[in-house]
Homo-oligomer: A and B are copies of this chain.
C-alpha cells in the first residue's frame, strides 16, 4: 500500500463518475472514510472505488444510503476488503435483486390479467376488487404491491 495507491478526491470522482461533492457527502454519512495529508486533503484507498461503485449499483436497486451503509458495514474496518468480503456482500445484493424481480413479475402478471379484462377501470379487476367490492381487507392496491 504505497503512496501511489492513495487517490485524491478528484481522481476518485473521475474513476467512479460521482461528483466530488457527492463523495464528500458520503464520507460525511460514514459510507467511506478518507485518510488526510498533512495539508488536510483527503486521500482514498483504491478499494474505495469498489466501495463507491457498490453504492451506485445498490442505489439503482432502490436502496437508501442507510441500508447501503448497513451492507458496507460488513466490510472490514482496517484492512482492504478481500474476495470473500465482497462475495458476502454481493450475494446479499443478489438476494435483493431477486426479490425485486419477483415483485415485478407478480405485478406484471396481474397487469396482464388487467389488460385482458380491462380491469383498472372495472368492477371485476383482480388488482382492486377486494377492496372495492368488500371494502374490508385494507385499503389500496395492496394485493399487488405486497
Chain A residues engaging chain B, CB cutoff 8 angstroms: 13-18, 47, 49-50, 53-54, 56-57, 60-62, 80-87, 89-91, 93-94, 97-98, 100-101, 104-105, 107-108, 111-112, 114-115, 118-122, 125, 127-128, 131-132, 135, 138-142, 144-145
The A interface is mostly helix, strand or loop, or mixed, namely: helix
CA distance A57 to B62 in the complex (A): 15
In the complex, are the beta carbons of A120 and B15 less than 8 A apart?
A: no
Distance in Å: Cβ of A87 to nearest Cβ of chain B:
5
List residues of chain B with CB within 8 A of the CB of A17. 138-142
- Give 13 A-B pairs besides A97-B108, A97-B111 with Cβ atoms closer than 8 angstroms: A15-B131, A15-B140, A16-B141, A18-B140, A47-B121, A56-B141, A56-B145, A81-B121, A82-B118, A86-B118, A94-B108, A94-B111, A98-B108
